[in-house]
């Protein structure tokens, strides 16, 4: 059974991953090459725990105990040598991940399962420095941001790993309240990001073509398809609506919709102008003069409420 956890990379994803395991009683080491990143992660984790307590998601008394379960490390050997499961959430660079997994192979006990949080790199290419027995214990586990609130973790089952080791990982995630998606083929973006990009491509195209204002397009998504999607998947929705209807509407609409193989031109122009979204004060909406910390807290509060209301919340 997997008990001890190591997380490598204390950035956007790594700190949330560490927090998720600590919230469920796991002892977690959090490693980063930058000591400043570890200090920043600790501040973020403390803020996120405070918000969880404020929203009655956890008891206030659990805050210090959870924080104490996450031990910062700047020495890789000390971070991983007694770990059952080690997740790398380091930058998305193939050579870096190859080298890191190779180092882990040498530093970790033989039973340790290695996991990569990669968003886009092929598992086989990342494992080139691993021997066959470690390859059987190496998996892609793709979390969603913010990791401590989003319930999904996609797991690779690409043929390198025996079913019983996969089951151990699946059970681990079930025990911390995550919904796992078993992905059978190593395709870029796995499943969830491909679905998201499909929706995003049409949304950006609708704005570019002036079909509706940004707020109305977001309303159409939030109170239309996405309202159902939180509880009912696309294939269930199709079965409810009738596959014959989906077939006719698909034939009528799809030929008129965006099928570009590149990121949207309007999106690219905004990036060139430095309008990057909340972090730069403007994107599709204007955030100038607003408290960006409060905007982020409101975003997280909504996810906490959704998680509490979710039938899948464990
Ligand atoms: N940001 C997202 O929404 C998101 C979602 C899912 C998956 N991912 C994936 O997760 C991984 C991490 O992304 P992120 O957004 O957290 O990046 P990030 O830049 O926020 O954090 C990366 C951290 O890794 C540290 N680092 C650099 N070299 C390292 C090394 N050799 N060993 C350990 N740590 C090292 C950096 O100092 C930094 O703190 C990437 O593979 C990314 O594709 C990101």
Whole-prediction pTM value? 0.96
Are 71 and 30 within 8 A, CB to CB?
yes
Mean pLDDT of 181-191: 97
Nearest atom within ligand 1 for CA of residue 145: 3
β-strand pairing of 138-143 with 70-73: unpaired
Q: How large is the average pLDDT for residues 195-224?
A: 98
Condensed to tens digits (0 to 9), the pLDDT of residues 73-96 reads 999 999 999 999 999 999 999 999
8 ligand 1 Cβ < 6 A: yes
Q: Ligand 1 within 6 A of 11 CB? A: yes
Listed in sequence order, the residues at least 6 apart from 68 whose beta carbon sits closer than 8 Å to its beta carbon are none
CA–centroid distance, 91 to ligand 1, in Å, is 4
Please give the pLDDT value at position 313.
Answer: 58
When the pLDDT of each residue in the chain is averaged and rounded to a whole number, the result is: 97
CA distance 10 to 2: 21
Please report the pLDDT score of residue 210 as a whole number.
Answer: 98
Q: Please say if the pLDDT value at position 312 is more than 90.
A: no
Average pLDDT over residues 246-270: 98
Give the position, in ligand 1's atom list, of the atom nearest the Cα of 97. 31
**Ligand 1 proximity of 34 Cβ (cutoff 6 Å):** yes
Residue 41 CA: nearest ligand 1 atom is 39
Name the closest-CA residue to atom 7, ligand 1.
119
Residue with CA at minimum distance from ligand 1 atom 15: 12
- Answer whether 143 contacts ligand 1 (Cβ < 6 A): yes
pLDDT at 314: 46
CA-to-CA distance for 143 and 182, rounded, in angstroms?
13
The answer, yes or no, to whether residue 307 has pLDDT greater than 90, is yes
Ligand 1 center from residue 230 Cα (angstroms): 27
- pLDDT(287) > 80: yes
Q: Where are the alpha helices (DSSP H) in 116-261?
A: 123-126, 132-135, 163-175, 192-208, 214-223, 225-229, 234-241, 243-253
Average pLDDT over residues 32-47: 97
Q: Which pair of tokens denotes residue 109?
A: 């006990």
> Has residue 174 got a pLDDT over 50?
yes
Predicted confidence at residue 140, as pLDDT, reads: 98
User: Which residues in 131-158 are b (16+ Cβ under 10 Å) and which e?
Assistant: eeebbebbbbbbbbebbbbbbbbbbbbe
If you take atom 2 of ligand 1, which residue's CA is the nearest one?
A: 145
- DSSP-derived pairing of the beta strands 138-143 and 152-156: antiparallel
Instruction: Please determine, for residue 235, whether its predicted confidence score (pLDDT) is greater than 70.
Output: yes
C-alpha distances in angstroms, 310 versus 21, 49, 231, 306, 307?
20, 20, 8, 6, 5
Q: Which two tokens stand for residue 245?
A: 């209807």
Residue 232 CB neighbours (<10 A): 12
CB 92 within 8 A of CB 118: yes
The confidence score (pLDDT) of residue 208 equals 97
User: What pLDDT does residue 83 have?
Assistant: 98
> What's the pLDDT tens digit per position in 13-34?
999 999 999 999 999 999 999 9
9 C-alpha vs ligand 1 centroid, how far in Å? 6
- Mean predicted confidence (pLDDT) in 150-156: 97
Over residues 70-75, the mean pLDDT reads 98
Q: Which residues contact 273 (CB under 8 A, 6 or more apart)?
A: none
Question: Both ends of the chain: CA-CA distance in Å?
Answer: 20
pLDDT of residue 310: 85
Evaluate: CB of 32 within 6 angstroms of ligand 1. Answer: yes
CB of 92 closer than 6 angstroms to any ligand 1 atom: yes
Query: pLDDT (tens digit, 9 = 90+) per residue, 91-131?
Result: 999 999 999 999 999 999 999 999 999 999 999 999 999 99
Which domains, and CATH codes, for the chain? 5-183 (3.40.50.720), 194-309 (1.10.1040.10)
């Amino acid at each position: 059974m997997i008990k001890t956890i190591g997380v490598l990379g204390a950035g956007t994803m790594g700190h949330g991953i560490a927090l998720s395991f600590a919230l469920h009683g796991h002892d977690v080491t959090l490693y980063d090459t930058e000591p400043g990143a570890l200090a920043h992660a600790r501040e973020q984790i403390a803020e996120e725990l405070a918000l969880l307590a404020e929203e009655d998601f956890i008891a206030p008394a659990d805050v210090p105990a959870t924080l104490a379960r996450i031990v910062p490390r700047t020495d890789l050997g000390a971070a991983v040598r007694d770990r059952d499961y080690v997740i790398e959430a380091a930058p998305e660079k193939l050579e870096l991940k190859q080298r890191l997994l190779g180092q882990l192979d040498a530093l970790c006990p033989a039973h340790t399962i290695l996991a990569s949080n990669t968003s886009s790199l092929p598992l086989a290419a990342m494992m080139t420095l691993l021997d066959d027995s470690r390859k059987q214990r190496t998996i892609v586990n793709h979390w969603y941001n913010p990791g401590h609130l989003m319930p999904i973790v996609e797991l690779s089952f690409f043929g390198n790993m025996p079913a019983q080791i996969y089951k151990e990982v699946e059970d681990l995630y079930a025990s911390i309240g995550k919904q796992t998606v078993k992905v059978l083929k190593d395709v870029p973006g796995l499943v969830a990001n491909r679905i998201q990009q499909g929706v995003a491509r049409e949304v950006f195209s609708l704005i570019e073509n002036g079909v509706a204002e940004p707020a109305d397009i977001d309303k159409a998504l939030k109170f239309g398809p996405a309202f159902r999607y939180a509880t009912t998947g696309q294939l269930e929705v199709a079965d409810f609506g009738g596959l014959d209807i989906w077939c006719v509407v698909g034939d009528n609409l799809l030929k008129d919709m965006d099928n570009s193989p590149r990121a949207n031109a309007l999106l690219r122009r905004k990036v060139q102008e430095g309008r990057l979204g909340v972090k730069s004060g403007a994107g599709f909406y204007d955030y100038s003069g607003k408290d960006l910390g409060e905007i982020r807290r409101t975003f997280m509060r909504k996810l906490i409420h959704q998680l509490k209301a979710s039938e899948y919340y464990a």
